[in-house]
A and B are shown apart, each in its own frame.
Chain A
Amino acid sequence: MQIIQPHYHAIARTAQDYERMAMSGVVAVAEPAFWAGFDRLYPETFLDYFRQISEFEPTRAAQYGIRHFSWVAVNPKEAENPTLTREVLKHFPEFFAKPTVLGVGETGLHKSTKNECESLEAHVEIAMKHDQLVLIHTPHLADKAHGTKRVLEVLAGMNVNRERIWIDHVEEQTIRPCLDAGYWVGFTLYPITKCSPKRAVDMLEKYGTERILVNSSADWGPSDPFTLQECILEYRRRGHSLQEAIEVFHNNPCRFLGQNPKFDIRPIRVETATEAVATA
């Protein structure tokens, strides 16, 4: 089955992950800009990072037949340095011109501070101004519900195209308001700290499959790109058809990411070929 990993931090992963993903049907990954594990000090550090994910990483993925796309952002954890954020934002249009950059992300909130909210607003504003897609990170664990509410409040005060915004890391307590407001949502599958494959399938069964993306994120922390395949297995094991699985794990990413014409992978449909069986 063909699979798209819509949120994947490739620079933190090995070539073996690419190889195994390719062998398991992954045809494309999209890499949002991420936190490096420490707060960066210089705008140039971000620019080199953006070059890495928009220029170098596609060549590494291509060795395994995987298409690689990316996003640019200052991570919410680094939004407490507004001067740095402003300096980096000035360079976004250079990267919007790159052939594989799809938009702005992952922006969003971590502790939902004033600086974070202003950074989120500035990120969304520049994305809308340049007709880019937006990927929004919502906080983890204890801050999840409050942070997601704040994200929705910030967005509600802006002139945005909701169909072009993806609110990620939703869970059972946050999915409904995001979907009801007209945004795309993402489930992020992690071994322990975020959503599990089984819970993701529970939500697919409860809310349907429209405007929902599923990803493994897979970064430098405890994470596993194959939680996505685990989720597909769970989905199929509950009796959902191959086409239904393709709709969620391949076609939905095509529908959202394909709003940027650079993402040119199209939804697919499985058909049974009618062929005459040769007889001896």
Chain B
Amino acid sequence: MLSPTQVVEAYFLESRHQLLEIAAYLDRYDAAVARAGDRNGAAAADEKKLILIRRALEIVAEGKPARERTIALLELFATV
């Protein structure tokens, strides 16, 4: 089993990468909305999935969650 320090070090870059991908996903959406706005368009017809992602990020950021974040996220995504 890994020590707390080993966990932090072993998965830092991978977690950084995954968070950057999520940030880019949200930026990509905003850019698409802005482009659509130029053509008198707007946001996606259904933003439910996007709202779930934002809620998931809140759960991930919880310092001392009541239960495991992974379980909470799986249950959250099961609602889509």
Chain A residues engaging chain B, CB cutoff 8 angstroms: 191-193, 196, 198-199, 202, 205-206
Given contacts A198-B21, A198-B24, A199-B24, contact A206 B13 (CB under 8 A): no
Chain B residues engaging chain A, CB cutoff 8 angstroms: 13-14, 16-17, 20-21, 24-25, 27-28, 31
The answer to whether A193 touches B31, judged by C-beta atoms less than 8 angstroms apart, is no
Q: How close is A54's CB to chain B, nearest CB, in angstroms?
A: 33
The 10 closest A-B pairs by CB, nearest first: A192-B17, A199-B24, A192-B13, A202-B28, A202-B24, A192-B14, A193-B13, A196-B21, A198-B24, A202-B27
The answer to whether A196 touches B31, judged by C-beta atoms less than 8 angstroms apart, is no
Q: Which residues of B contact A205 (CB under 8 A)?
A: 31
Could you list 20 A-B pairs, sorted by A, with CB under 8 Å? A191-B17, A192-B13, A192-B16, A192-B17, A193-B13, A193-B17, A196-B17, A196-B20, A196-B21, A196-B24, A198-B21, A198-B25, A198-B28, A199-B20, A199-B21, A199-B24, A202-B28, A202-B31, A205-B31, A206-B31
Q: Which residues of A contact B25 (CB under 8 A)?
A: 198
Q: How close is A234's CB to chain B, nearest CB, in angstroms?
A: 11
Distance A52 CA – B33 CA, assembled complex (angstroms): 50
Distance A202 CA – B34 CA, assembled complex (angstroms): 14
